[in-house]
Structure 1
Amino acid sequence: MAGYRDVLRTPGVARIIAAQLTARFPNGMTSLAILLHIHHVTGSYGSAGLVLAATSIGQAIAGPVTSRWMGVWGMRRVIATTLTVCAAAITTLALITVPLPVYMGLGVLIGLSTPPIQSAARTIYPKLVSARQLTPLFSLDASLQEIIWIVAPVLITFVATQVGTVPALLLIVVILVGGGTWFILSPEVGRVRIPRSRRSFGKVLTKLPVLLATVIGFLLIGACAAVEAGVVATFGQGGLEAGIVLALFSVGSLAGGLSFGKIPIGPWAMARRLAIVTVGLALTMFSLEVWWLGGTLVLAGIGIAPALAVLFAMTSASVKFSDTAEAFGWVGTGQLIGAAAGSAIAGFLIDGIGPQGAYIAATGFAAAGLLVAVALVRGFPDLRTRGVSPIPDTEPLQTVT
């Protein structure tokens, strides 16, 4: 833990991590709150699913677009604008009763205006710490984000069921605005300016490491989404066991991320970490007992955050600083599409063969990621002997804030 203490003592690091985690906390609440609210208003889970699908489409489109805009108009302006629109759209969805197509339109707007906090934070990190500290910082970031997925769904479900879905959505707005404002006003956000990229939009995907990070992120998060569907199908939405098992999955990821944080990242790092995930998920198919699923998902989880840390590090190290935000935006979009695909495929298999189908889907996603990592190992940068920082094209400018 000494390495993490050194990282957190670096001026600005603890503040940025705390601010971005707070600003991103609604990411673990919004989909569930929208699902519960639209079902409450319409009485249909199908309608709620359509609104969620519209929201996901908006998020997938927005990821690389709004991230790239930060190099044109600046981080603060883009984040403040998207934050304002997103908060207004969620508030409107909560307070008005309208036909389903209007709810879907609001869902698209919520997705399109999701503030690019994650891309901004991971673009700032290389300017806060030394190259030696950047790998542990990415590991710490990937690990701590598990707090969002452990606490946020429980909190928003409690508020929605015990107080109401409208207060739940308004609570999201309060956290979004508060956390986003904290992040925007952080001095580090004002000091780091992303240069305008000279490459055409999407050109960053021609960098093999960025493409690999996007594809493997799609497969890894697809596996996680299938697991979540499988656990809910196994124990029921209201089952205490479901919450415990999913919490163990996240705890395993948190522990793995902190344990692997200082291990140098070589070309085979991704394959080794995905092998842990694949083995753990494959073992889930032997039994659906709570103790077995809990243990196997702890094992699988140990590889999740370390694999995400590799994704972040290889993306950062493979592009110019002016392209980092867009690159992280594409990686995030891949993960969003993976979550939708994993949930959908798991759902079909659950309907066809039962909860076991979801774990088969999860294992398939993870195994596909492992095969990609092994087959294209030459495409993964060797970060054991070089820094994880982006390729410099200009230094950050000091700006008056």
Structure 2
Amino acid sequence: MAGYRVLLRTPGVGRIIAAQLTARFPNGMISLAVLLHIEHVTGSYGAAGLVLAATSVGQAVAGPVTSRWMGRWGMRRVLTTTLLICAAAITAIALLEVPLPVYMALGLIGGLSTPPVQSAVRTIYPKMVNSSQLTPLYSLDASLQEIIWVLAPVIITLVGTQAGTVPALLLIVVILLGGGAWFILSPEVGRVRIPRSRRALGTVLRKPPVILATATGFLLIGACAAVEAGVVATFDHGGLEAGLVLAVFAVGSLAGGLTFGHIPIGPWAMARRFAIVTVGLSLTIVSLNAWWLGATLLVAGAGIAPALAVMFAMTSASVRFSETAEAYGWIGTGQLIGAAAGSAVAGFLVDGVGPQGAYIAAAAFAAAGLVVSVLFVRGFPDLRHRDASPIPDTEPVHTIT
């Protein structure tokens, strides 16, 4: 922990972490709030699912595109524009009574305009700390984001059920605008300028570390989404036990990230972290007892944040600075698709074989990530004797001969 205290004493680091976590806090609220609101308005979970699907499609498409725009028009301009559009779309969903296709269109607009805060902050990090602190910073970031997934669903559920779904959506808008403004006005956002990428959209995916980070992120978040579906199904649609068990899962991730964040990253780092997740999730299949699930998910969670930290560090170290935001955008898209796939597969298995099917799906996703990490280990960079800073952008220098 001494290393993290030194890291947080670096000028601006604590502030930018707090600002970006606040700006991203609505990400843990929007899906649940929209689900509750559209079901309340239409009386149909199917209709709510369609609006959520439109929102997720928008987020997946926007990730690499809006992240890349930050190199063309600047971070503050892109973040401010997307923030205002997203806030307007959520406000419209809250206040307007319109046909389902209009709700779907508003959900799509909200998803497309999700501010690329995650890509922005992970592009800023290498400019804020020295090379030896970068990997621990990525680990700290991956660990602290668990706060979002622990607190946000609880808060929005309480507001939605006690005060109503409209106040819940408007609360999201307030946090979105306040947190977004805090992050956008941070001095680091104004100081760091991303060079405009000279390559076509998607070219960055030709880099093995980027495609591996995207693929493993898809599988890791797919496993997490399947776990969430399994826990909800096990404890009768979200009783107290469900919240506590999922909180233990997140606490395991937080603890794992803080514990392993200082360990140098070698080619086998991802495989070792996926092994922890796979073992923990495989053990969940043995029993659906709350204590057993809590213990096994605590083990599995210990590998989640460390695996995410490897993805962030290997991506940063493998691309030019002008490509980092887009690369993180693709990784975010992979994770969004993984969440949708994990939830869908787990849902079908719950219907077919019961809650245990969701844990089988989660273990299968994690095992697939372990296999990918082992089979393609040569594609993972060795960062044990080098830093995770992006490759500098260079331009031709004109000389007089």
Q: 1:32 — aligned with what?
A: 32
Q: 2:111 — aligned with what?
A: 111
Residue identity matched to 2:321:
F
CA distance in 2, matches of 1:343, 1:359: 11
Aligned alpha-carbon RMSD (Å): 0.7
Residue 238 of structure 1 and its aligned partner are, at CA, apart by 3.6
Residue 394 of structure 1 and its aligned partner are, at CA, apart by 5.6
Deviations 1:254-295 (A, max 9, x none): 000000010000000000000000000000000000000000
Conserved 8 A contact 1:266-1:382 = yes
CA distance in 2, matches of 1:394, 1:325: 17
Residue 376 of structure 1 and its aligned partner are, at CA, apart by 0.3
In the alignment, structure 1 residue 129 sits paired with structure 2 residue 129: yes
CA distance in 2, matches of 1:56, 1:174: 21
* SS of the residue 1:157 aligns to: helix
Q: 1:96 — aligned with what?
A: 96
Residue 50 of structure 1 and its aligned partner are, at CA, apart by 0.5
CA distance in 2, matches of 1:255, 1:23: 23
Residue 237 of structure 1 and its aligned partner are, at CA, apart by 2.1
Residue 85 of structure 1 and its aligned partner are, at CA, apart by 0.1
- Larger mean CA deviation between 386-395 and 274-283 belongs to 386-395
Q: 1:398 — aligned with what?
A: none
CA distance in 2, matches of 1:278, 1:157: 30
* Structure 2 residues without counterparts, runs of 5 or longer: 396-401
Map 1:305-384 onto structure 2 (within 5 A): 305-384=305-384
CA distance in 2, matches of 1:199, 1:93: 37
Deviations 1:182-203 (A, max 9, x none): 0000000000000000111000
CA distance in 1, matches of 2:279, 2:387: 31
Q: 2:79 — aligned with what?
A: 79
CA distance in 1, matches of 2:56, 2:221: 14
Residue 179 of structure 1 and its aligned partner are, at CA, apart by 0.3
Residue identity matched to 1:310:
V
Deviations 1:322-352 (A, max 9, x none): 0000000000000000000000000000000
Conserved 8 A contact 1:195-1:394 = no
Q: 1:153 — aligned with what?
A: 153
* SS of the residue 2:285 aligns to: helix
Residue identity matched to 1:340:
A
Q: 2:171 — aligned with what?
A: 171
The runs of 4+ residues in structure 1 deviating greater than 6 Å are: none
Q: 1:265 — aligned with what?
A: 265
CA distance in 2, matches of 1:250, 1:17: 18
In the alignment, structure 1 residue 192 sits paired with structure 2 residue 177: no
- Percent identical pairs in the alignment equals 80
**TM-score where L is the length of structure 1:** 0.98
CA distance in 2, matches of 1:343, 1:388: 33
Q: 1:301 — aligned with what?
A: 301
Deviations 1:161-215 (A, max 9, x none): 0000000000000000000000000000000000000111000000000000000
Residue identity matched to 2:309:
A
Q: 1:287 — aligned with what?
A: 287
CA distance in 1, matches of 2:284, 2:318: 36
Residue 53 of structure 1 and its aligned partner are, at CA, apart by 0.4
CA distance in 2, matches of 1:387, 1:275: 25
Deviations 1:74-98 (A, max 9, x none): 0000000000000000000000001
Residue identity matched to 2:381:
P
Deviations 1:27-49 (A, max 9, x none): 00000000000000001101000
CA distance in 1, matches of 2:239, 2:88: 34
Q: Report how many aligned residue pairs link the two structures.
A: 395
CA distance in 1, matches of 2:203, 2:242: 42
CA distance in 2, matches of 1:99, 1:379: 49
Residue identity matched to 1:138:
Y
* SS of the residue 1:286 aligns to: coil
In the alignment, structure 1 residue 247 sits paired with structure 2 residue 231: no
Conserved 8 A contact 1:321-1:394 = no
CA distance in 1, matches of 2:92, 2:365: 37
Deviations 1:81-121 (A, max 9, x none): 00000000000000000111110001100100000000000
CA distance in 1, matches of 2:62, 2:208: 22
In the alignment, structure 1 residue 53 sits paired with structure 2 residue 40: no
**TM-score where L is the length of structure 2:** 0.98
